[in-house]
Amino acid sequence: MSVDRLDRVNALIRREIGESLFHIMNDQSFDLAAVTITHVITARNLRTARVLVSIRGTEEQKLAMLSILRRHRPEIQNTINRDLSLKYTPKLHFDLDRSVEEGDHVLDILTHLDDGNSAGPILQNGNNLNTKAESS
């Protein structure tokens, strides 16, 4: 399958999953406003698709909503099968997309550097950016 066609299939599946969430998710603990389908990566043979999901909230809320998504996977796949004309309906695998969080963290570091903050931002591993400069 050509790369362009695979990109179109990924976009179609992403859109279809987003639309189907509004019809399928009735669970009170699932906040539709906090969930964004960021990417779909379909295998070249259309047998599997990795769905990257960005979820706003605490780590516990993210894992709980991801679990609910995974429980509703067969219903979402049935919707894709019904609405899209594909040779195979890919088996969906939902994973958290942490790229937005990582991007926010990088922007936070850049903001602190731009402000000339003498303490500097604290990195995720607990180290200070200025630690190496001060110890030299």
Domain boundaries, the chain: 3-97, 101-135
When the pLDDT of each residue in the chain is averaged and rounded to a whole number, the result is 84
Interval 85-119: pLDDT, tens: 888 889 999 999 988 778 888 888 888 887 775 45
**Average pLDDT rounded to a whole number, residues 10-34:** 88
Q: What is the DSSP letter of 50?
A: E
Torsion angle of alpha carbons 118, 122, 127, 133, nearest 10°?
Answer: -20
Distance CA 23, CA 68 (A): 14
Interval 32-58: pLDDT, tens: 888 999 999 999 998 999 999 999 888
The residue behind tokens 């990195």 is: 123
Confidence of residue 136 (pLDDT cuts 50, 70, 90): very low
The CATH number of domain 3-97 is 3.30.300.20: yes
Distance CA 13, CA 15 (A): 5
Q: What is the DSSP letter of 128?
A: B
119 φ, ψ to 5°? -75, -30
76 or 123: which leads in pLDDT: 76
Contact (CB, 8 A) for 47 and 90: yes
**Average pLDDT rounded to a whole number, residues 20-37:** 86
Distance CA 81, CA 6 (A): 17
Q: Look at residue 135 in the predicted model and tell me its pLDDT.
A: 45
